[in-house]
Amino acid sequence: MRLSPDELLVFSVGEVGITATVVYTWAAMLIALPLLIFYRRSMLVEVVVEFIRGQVAAVSGREDMQVMTFVGALFIFIFANNWLVLIPFVDPATASISTCAALAILTFIYGIYIAVREVGVRGYFRRFIEPSAILVPFNVLSEILKFFSLAMRLYGNIMSGAFMVGLMIVLAPFFFPALMNLFGLIAGTIQPFIFMVLATVYITTGVEAKKSRVSHSHNNSQKQGGKNARP
């Protein structure tokens, strides 16, 4: 039994092997991108974008188009990947640890970028010596573990769903795999949302704390504006 789509080599270009994970990711992108581009004026896409916008504004307390675009892309990518279970014999690419780790590393780098843009390099590193310089190792560790758990959460949830389906196909091949796939779809809908919310929290938390200390009144007005703008 295959544990992850990483172990299935589809073809190789020279030295570089293209595994099933990469092919499934391409499939998800091929399905999601044209849908979003051709139906960009439709009601459904508007509902999705409005949902992402509302959630990001509610979690981070401000209307930042850049952060919203990034976490919205994460949401749609993970969602499209998770719903690949609808295609027979295809595992979601998020059932591989490499995809989830790549997404978490992207979030980590983007978080550094946003923090440096908003509060500067010194402001970013000051986060680690607060409240005291003795706590630097723990702060560094917690910063790394945040993104480690972000990757592990997505991977574990999706992989366990795919694994249970594989197990059920061996044990009771007719009815139960479909039922397990249904559960997988529920998890596959909740998990992108959770990844998006947590990524927003991790990206904006330190920045918010710093800002509120420097210019309190400005930040307050921004927060209220964000709340009022919500539908």
User: Which residues of the chain form contacts with other proteins (CB under 8 A)?
Assistant: 3, 55, 58, 149, 152-153, 156-157, 160, 163, 190-191, 193-194, 197-198
Shortest Å, Cβ 190 to other proteins? 6
Shortest Å, Cβ 203 to other proteins? 15
Shortest Å, Cβ 174 to other proteins? 25
Between residues 58 and 109, which has the closer beta carbon with respect to other proteins?
58
Q: How far is CA 134 from CA 84, 102, 128, 144, in A?
A: 47, 31, 10, 18
Six token digits for residue 190? 């909740």
Q: Are 162 and 95 in contact (CB under 8 A)?
A: yes
Between residues 129 and 186, which has the closer beta carbon with respect to other proteins?
186
Between residues 21 and 55, which has the closer beta carbon with respect to other proteins?
55
For 26-37, b where at least 16 C-beta lie within 10 A, e where not — what string? ebbeeebeeebe
Shortest Å, Cβ 33 to other proteins? 27
Question: What size, in residues, is the chain?
Answer: 231
Between residues 51 and 113, which has the closer beta carbon with respect to other proteins?
51
Beta carbons within 10 angstroms of residue 98's beta carbon: 17
